[in-house]
Structure 1
Amino acid sequence: MKKLILVGAMFAMQAFIQRPVETPIPLCQTSHDMATWAADANFMAMHEAPEAYHYAGKGETIKFSTPDGKEASGFLIKAPKKSDKWLFVYQEWWGLNDHIKHEAETFYNDLGDVNVLALDMYDGQVGTTPQEAGKIMQSVPKERLTAIMQGALAHVGKKAKIASVGWCFGGMLSLQSALLEGKQAVGCVMYYGRPEQDVEKLKTLNVDVLGVFGKQDKAPSPEMVAQFEENMKAAGKQVTVKMYDAVHGFANPSNPKHDATATADAYKHSIEYLKKKFS
């Protein structure tokens, strides 16, 4: 009987050793602030797969060096005349897809004399399902995101006056971009992205922020947005919050839960804000 038990235990141990182990995507100190959200099933459920869209407008793909020894790319629409005014556009968690390129052109058409650069923060990867987008967003280290933004800053030059806008993942990046831009920053618009929570970092901002959020959103929740307002106040910085009775991602026309009325009003405030900053 003892021999049977021993043999059974040996087979069980062998099966355990040979069983493939699924290695989780590391969420260590190099992870960005939204990586944990991307791994959350509830956060994924807030994002329905975007409807198919094909962009056939103006613009070109460019490449530039990054300080980590690599290259990055972006979608650029140049101003009609040489200009030191730049708008950095930051993608949703899906990646730099055709919808973001169309949004970049919309801002370009309304701003007039501003170069618009939509940065590819995923190095060519694009998610078409919440599961794909979540895995990609988790896999990009914070250092790489920072290197891409730093490379873009070097590409546009020290004389550039820069504003930024982004949605979801890009909303967080828009604020982080403004922090990196220093005195070159002239404006920052963030749509329902995770706010920076470190008051000391917020103290280094050289520009006020326009934040667009949804009351029905849970990431970031209205409570997190309220805390962001308190943190900005504590940092001695100004933030204007536009809160809509809408879900996460409401401003994306390819989102099945797109809110056209809220989107139009939010865009009106965003473009007025940016025009003022670039005047």
Structure 2
Amino acid sequence: MNRLLTILILSLLCSGLYAQTPACCTSATRSFAAFASDKSFNSQHEIPLPYRHNSDIGKDITFPVEDGQAAHAYELRAQKPSPLWLFVFHEWWGLNDHIKKEAEKLYKDLGGKVNVLALDLYDRQVATTREEAAQLMQSAQEARIRSIIRGAAQYAGKKAHIATIGWCFGGGWSMQAALMLGKQAHACIIYYGMPEQNIEKLKSLRAPVLGIFATQDRWINPEVVKAFEQAMKAAGKALEVYSYDADHAFANPSNPHYQSEATAQAYDKTLKFLQRHLLGKD
């Protein structure tokens, strides 16, 4: 049943894949949100352990958005003025303290040379149960999220060089943000989120992409990954893919039972990718 659901959603998403025409109606992000109606998908996400993030360098901020409702984010400013930015996209739980911790880890491991902005796509709503997370992910408005991303780009400035990273729900939005950012996008990292499959949309992508996937994932499964690789190749875009013998959400920052070895390997690939494409280090 799960396999049939995945195939159905993927067929809707990729209806124009080989003909190189736009998918008719279902966006990649809405296709992923539809998984929340699958109880087995929901049960795959471990309830986050209680955690309170305290920081001397990170802070909660707001910034203006075109729709008039200010957006919320967690920000870590580079030690010296820098045009380099990393936009962090939370998983389906929302911008909780686990995501703030991961944002700060990335900030420190990048040497404090990059401004890190963890965007809140749920407008200060944070789930603590699977039911709440499913509801938040399904009710998230694409127009609002895109407004938040545009507002974040304006906040970073026209000269900003931006990389994106996200897990699960945020993985798909990491890729959508890279598409939206145009020439300002310098790197995109997607952890088992729904990738964009539409070749015409992918042709506008300016950033190289790193895809981290799990071979046991029943939703963003090997068939989805293969279709993504084919679409990126057809669009002539740079893609690195690493698939681990793990299940969906294996590296989620809030997962109390994450798979440490696979997570460590994926994180090493992530850092090297950011250092190469954002910091310009070989």
**TM-score, length-scaled by structure 1:** 0.87
RMSD: 1.4
Q: Give the deviation of 1:29 after TM superposition.
A: 7.0
Amino acid aligned to 2:88: V
Call closer, same or farther: CA 1:223–1:257 in 2, change over 3 Å. Answer: farther
Deviation at 1:75, TM superposition (A): 0.2
Tell me the equivalent position of 1:223: 223
1:73-84 matches, within 5 Å, as 73-84=72-83
Distance 2:65 2:35 in 1: 27
Deviations 1:138-188 (A, max 9, x none): 111110111110110111111000001100011001000100110001100
**Alignment match, 1:17:** none
Tell me the equivalent position of 2:275.
Answer: 275
- Aligned partner of 1:219: which letter? W
* Amino acid across the alignment from 1:193: G
Counterpart of 1:87, as a letter, is L
> Which residue of structure 1 lines up, in the alignment, with residue 36 of structure 2?
38
SS at match of 1:63: strand
User: Which amino acid is the alignment partner of residue 167 of structure 2?
Assistant: W
Whether the aligned pair in 1 keeps the contact of 2:251 and 2:259 (CA below 8 Å) is yes
CA contact (8 A) 2:99 2:254 kept: no
Unaligned runs of 5+ in 2: 1-24
Count of aligned pairs: 252
Q: CA deviation at 1:43?
A: 1.5
Q: Which residues of 2 match residues 1-279 of structure 1 at below 5 A? A: 32-57=30-55, 58-112=57-111, 113-277=113-277, 278-279=279-280
Shift of 1:42: 2.3
Question: Which residue of structure 2 lines up, in the alignment, with residue 16 of structure 1?
Answer: none
Is 71-80 or 42-51 further displaced after alignment?
Answer: 42-51
The structure with the larger Rg is 1
What is the CA deviation profile of residues 60-106 of structure 1, one whole-angstrom value per residue up to 9, with x for unaligned ones?
11111111221101000000111110000000000000010010001
CA gap 1:95/1:253 in 2 versus in 1, 3 angstroms: closer
Whether the 8 Å contact between 2:102 and 2:253 is mirrored in structure 1 is no
Aligned twin of 2:11: none
Compare relative contact order (CA 8 Å, sep 6+) and give the higher one, 1 or 2: 2
What residue ranges of structure 1 are gaps of 5+ in the alignment? 1-27
Cα separation, 2, equivalents of 1:174 and 1:264:
20
Secondary structure of residue in 1 paired with 2:62: strand
